[in-house]
Amino acid sequence: MSASRFTAAIVACLMSLAAALTATPAAAASYLQCVPFARAESGVEIRGNAGTWWAQAAGQYERGDEPREGAVMAFAGTRGMPIGHVAVVKKIVGEREILIDHANWSPINGRRGQIERNVRVVDVSSAGDWSMVRVWYAPIGDLGLRANPVQGFIYPGSNAAPRKAPSFEAPVWASNDWKPGNGLDMVAASLGQ
C-alpha cells in the first residue's frame, strides 16, 4: 500500500470517528423527544431544539413569566441539559406549583423518551417569578435534586388551542401495573395455540 493511500485511509477513519463522536446520538431518534410532544400538545408551531423556542416565540406568540394552562414552559439550557427542555402546563395548583405534561425527562424502567402527565413542578426562585423550578423526577420518586432555569412561558394563540395528541398516548407497557409477559396468555390464545 502506498504512503498516500495509507494516509488517506487514516484520514477517512479519523473523520468517521470524529463524526460519530460529535453527531447527535442515534438512540435519540428511537424515542420521543420533548419538542414534538410539546408542539403536538400545545399547538405552538415552533421547530428546533427546545433551547431555541423562547427566542423563536418572540413576535410570533405572546410570552410571559406566569404559568397559564396550555402554555409551553421553556427551560433554559444548562450543563446537564444543554439543549433545554419544553413542557406544557396542564393545571395551576397554587401560586408556586403547577402540573405539566412532558416527554423525555425521567427515564422510566430504564427507558428514555417516556411521556409523563400531571407532573409536579414547584417554583423555587427567590423572587417567586418562575425563573427557577424543581420538577418531579420519577427515578427518585420526588422533586429533582437540581433546580432548573426557566426562560418563561409561551402562550398559544387563540387558533392554537391546547390539545391532547392521540398519537402520543402512553403505550400499554408504560402503565404502572404492566410487566413483561402481561397479557401473553391472551395473545397466545388469540393465535389458536
Report pLDDT digits (tens) over 115-171: 999 999 999 999 999 999 999 999 999 999 999 999 999 999 865 544 555 455 554
Cβ contact 92:155 at 8 Å: no
Mean of pLDDT over the chain: 81
**Distance separating alpha carbons of residues 193 and 190, to the nearest angstrom:** 8
pTM of the model as a whole = 0.70
**Distance separating alpha carbons of residues 115 and 41, to the nearest angstrom:** 11
* Element at 184 (helix H, strand E): helix 184-190
Query: Which segment of 26-35, 36-45, 63-72 scores lowest on mean pLDDT?
Result: 26-35
User: Of 102, 104, 137, 134, which is closest to residue 121 (Cα–Cα)?
Assistant: 134
* Element at 121 (helix H, strand E): strand 115-123
pLDDT of 160 reads: 54
Does CATH place domain 51-157 in 1.10.3470?
Answer: no
Residue with cell 441539559: 81
